[in-house]
Structure 1
């Protein structure tokens, strides 16, 4: 490692080179992405190595690996560059000319029930907005922290000073049964419900449904016949069987075609929320998108 360099000599372009190499794990691909020579990328990384007194990247088994310190530096560099872009942006936001990329993290429920209306509304008002929908996969808050997502959408309850949230609406739980099921003719009592064989949606072990938490609070538990990671295809498992599945009411109206839908006897609800970070809290485009999402779910709030 050469003699250290004054860190104040580092500009945002150098940080962008670092971020790009970190994302692509290649000097060559980073140079192509940035439209510069590979030698310019190598020079910039060497300069940053001297600034941070760390190798940043090392080659192992013909692959480029980032050091632990590099991961931390890139996380902060992404935050700094994002904040500077917001600082440099015009104070007035015009959705008709906005061409920024905006990423929303969510899961199956939101992709089926909320995202279509959101996308249509956003594209109508901001046709050049570059939208991406990614899976939150139980790590939505981390995706916000790492700037992999701008907005998190779903039933998330984490309270930390770094995050902001806004409730969109609440949901009840209902039960899906085959029409020929012996208990499909009327409402289920709690004892009836606990005596049935259940399909349990585990959400990959990353999130637990509120009705399960409420049953545990009461010291009760389900007879689980099968566990699945997602509500996708749930209706195919229930149809023609003696199984019962418990899902949010609005989702049941979509995936429960041809099935009997009964109120769930476990008295609890879930709240569907918007979550974002302090980093984007006052950004004009983020404020506008959040307002559009809130307005697009207004009809659901009235139904409740």
Structure 2
């Protein structure tokens, strides 16, 4: 197989080759390219030398493509289209953009960030639709493959090739329904342990941050029920004497309808940072830059409702 030194090849010849193979005529190719016929004839001679093939052969009524030229056509078209896209990437206009955006985040933060994010998209990019999917075991691979634009979650470290930005800090609170027998009591550790609890386990595997804190002091709460998502837990807590400890951003949204009273948990896992991840290949993409700015804007609205904890 011949080794081709691309540095020695005049890549401008490829546009001439495309015109010649499309027109099957030196004259028509010259008109199309705005070149003289002798100049295109010389370019054809150089192309024949480069490919070691006639490319255009005499036929009835004009030139025909050689077998090698027929093989070249689809490859050449893809190559020129790719170069054109690379050099002249279309600008992203949110007002006229269409299609779908795909994010991954737990239901908790879909409920918290989803409303202001959708409002922002509705104002600036009404033709875009949003898919929010639950985190799966291969979210980093999905970012690498481009099946996800961004991931929102509690992720402290990002692997190589993945960009990370903190959105806001959150903490934990305990919710009791309005009218709960313990609603007016001080929520001491002893009282906390006397109550029946709802635990949220998205994966169904492992312990919760609250139980980890309790285990450090050899305490254990009674978990009456475990559910896979935060919104189910909120509804159960609103209609029972079970209590739940959850991130404050969602608690404030749930307590805002006066169904709950909010307390500081005596077994406090501490504050944590909600982050956004995306792949480095999308760092400068206008569409992705706009989406990340929209997510940051939505997170800022949530952050204003969550005290800093200072």
How does the TM-score come out when normalised to structure 1? 0.63
Offset of residue 118 of structure 1: 0.8
Q: Is the 8 A contact 1:171 1:272 kept in 2?
A: yes
Question: Equivalent residue for 1:31?
Answer: none
Separation in structure 2 between the aligned mates of residue 255 and residue 132 of structure 1, nearest angstrom: 23
Q: Is the 8 A contact 2:108 2:229 kept in 1?
A: no
Q: Is the 8 A contact 1:152 1:274 kept in 2?
A: yes
Offset of residue 271 of structure 1: 1.8
Larger Rg, first or second structure (1 or 2) = 2
Separation in structure 2 between the aligned mates of residue 202 and residue 85 of structure 1, nearest angstrom: 49
Deviation per CA, 1:162-193, whole angstroms, max 9, x where unpaired? 32111111112111223443422133123322
CA distance 1:146–1:222, shift in 2 (3 Å): farther
Offset of residue 196 of structure 1: 2.4
Separation in structure 1 between the aligned mates of residue 249 and residue 84 of structure 2, nearest angstrom: 39
CA distance 1:138–1:259, shift in 2 (3 Å): farther
SS in 2 for 1:273: strand
Give ranges in structure 2 of 5+ residues lacking alignment.
Answer: 1-81
Separation in structure 2 between the aligned mates of residue 285 and residue 204 of structure 1, nearest angstrom: 32
Separation in structure 2 between the aligned mates of residue 187 and residue 86 of structure 1, nearest angstrom: 64
CA distance 1:241–1:295, shift in 2 (3 Å): closer
* Number of aligned residues: 222
CA distance 1:216–1:91, shift in 2 (3 Å): farther
Separation in structure 1 between the aligned mates of residue 206 and residue 86 of structure 2, nearest angstrom: 36
Question: Equivalent residue for 1:134?
Answer: 133
SS in 1 for 2:302: helix
CA distance 1:247–1:282, shift in 2 (3 Å): same
How does the TM-score come out when normalised to structure 2? 0.62
SS in 1 for 2:170: strand
Q: Is the 8 A contact 1:136 1:143 kept in 2?
A: no
Matches within 5 A, 1:128-277: 128-137=127-136, 139-205=138-204, 209-239=208-238, 241-256=240-255, 257=257, 258-267=259-268, 268-277=270-279
